[in-house]
Amino acid sequence: MDAIHTPVLLEETIQLLAPRKEDEFMVDATLGEGGHSAAFLERFPTLRIAGVDADGEIQCKARERLCRFRDRMHFFIRWAEDFFNDYPPELPAPDTILFDLGISLYHYEQSKKGFSFMRDEFLDMRLDPACGKTAAELIANLSEKELADMIYANAEERYSRRIAAAVQKAKKQGPLISTAVLARVVSASVPAVYRRGPIHPATRTFQALRMAVNSEAEKLPVMLERALDKLKNGGRMGVISFHSGEDRKVKSFFREKRRDCTCPPETPICRCGGVRTVSLLTRKPVTAGKEECRKNPPSRSAKFRAVEKMYAGVNI
C-alpha cells in the first residue's frame, strides 16, 4: 500500500533538526506513515530512528515503507507521553525529537474510524482502539453546555452553541453514531453564509471531537515536558502544529522553559544567574511557502517551532 500522506515542512524540518555528527539517534514521536522518518534516513545514512505512534494500524503502513532501512529503524506502538515517561532502556537518549501533531491523511481517507465528514462511518475517532470513549459515546454522554464548551475550547468554533443545541435535539431521535448524520446536523444548524464559507461547516466540530476523544489538549504539554526531559543536552526538539490553540501551547511551553534567563538571546553563556533549559531556534513559527501550500493544502495551517536543549545554561 502506498503512503498517501505528504509530510509537511519537510525541508524546513530537515534544515533545523539535521544531525550534526555521525551515528545520532532521533525519536519521531508521531511517526504516522513515516514520511519525515523516510526522508531523514535517506538523507543521513548513519542516523537511527525510533518511530512512535499510538495507532497500530498506521504503523503497519510505516513498517512497510521503512523496512528497507532495516535495523536503523525501531517501531513502538505507544502514546508519545507514555513512551517518554517509560523510555525504553535499550535506546540511547535522543539527539533529536520530532512531533508532527494531529492525524494523517490516511486517518481521514482510509482508517474507517469516522474522522471525516466526507464519508459515512461510525463515529469512533480513537487512535488507540483500547483507549477511552468513542466520539459517539462522548456525544451521547455530554450535556448541551458541555458539548458547546468542548467544541469552542478545542476548535474555537464560533457557532458552538447552535451546533450543540442541534446535536442535543438530534439525540432525541436516537443515538447519534454516524459521521454523515452529524455532518448534516451541524450544517443545518449554522447560518447559510457559514455554509458557503471556505471550509465545510462541520470541519471544526469534527476536529474538536477528535481532540476530545484522544485527549489531545491535555496530553500536549505532558508529552513535551517528558520528551524534553529525555532529550540529550545539546539535542534539538521540533514541533509541527496545525491550529492556533495547539501552537499557543507549544509556544508558551518553549518560552516557559527559557523564562528565567534575562540575557540577550545571542549571549552564549547565561550570565544573569537564571536557569535556561532551552534556546529557541525559531523566534517565529516556520510556515509553508506558497508552492508547498499549493501542492499540499494541509500544510497551509502548519506551524513549526524548534528549540535546543542547553548544557546547564550554556548555549553551545
Ligand X SMILES: C[S@@+](CC[C@H](N)C(=O)[O-])C[C@H]1O[C@@H](n2cnc3c(N)ncnc32)[C@H](O)[C@@H]1O
Contacts with ligand X, residue ranges (CB under 6 A):
5, 7, 30, 32-36, 52-55, 58, 79-80, 100, 102-104, 127, 219, 223
Identify which of residues 36 and 257 has a Cβ nearer to ligand X in the complex: 36
Min dist CB 117 to ligand X, Å, is 19
Min dist CB 89 to ligand X, Å, is 20
How far is 61 from 10, CA to CA, in rounded Å? Answer: 19
Q: Which residue pairs from 198-202 have beta carbons closer than 8 angstroms and sit at least 24 positions apart in sequence? A: 200/117, 200/118, 201/159, 202/117
Identify which of residues 139 and 223 has a Cβ nearer to ligand X in the complex: 223
Identify which of residues 107 and 257 has a Cβ nearer to ligand X in the complex: 107
Min dist CB 220 to ligand X, Å, is 8
Identify which of residues 168 and 241 has a Cβ nearer to ligand X in the complex: 241
Min dist CB 242 to ligand X, Å, is 8
How far is 188 from 202, CA to CA, in rounded Å? Answer: 10
Min dist CB 312 to ligand X, Å, is 29
Q: Tell me the DSSP string of 66-111.
A: HGGGGGGEEEEES-HHHHHHT--TTSPPPSEEEEE-S--HHHHHTS
Min dist CB 161 to ligand X, Å, is 28
Pairing label, strands 25-28, 303-309 = unpaired
Identify which of residues 100 and 121 has a Cβ nearer to ligand X in the complex: 100
Identify which of residues 104 and 116 has a Cβ nearer to ligand X in the complex: 104
How far is 250 from 138, CA to CA, in rounded Å? Answer: 27
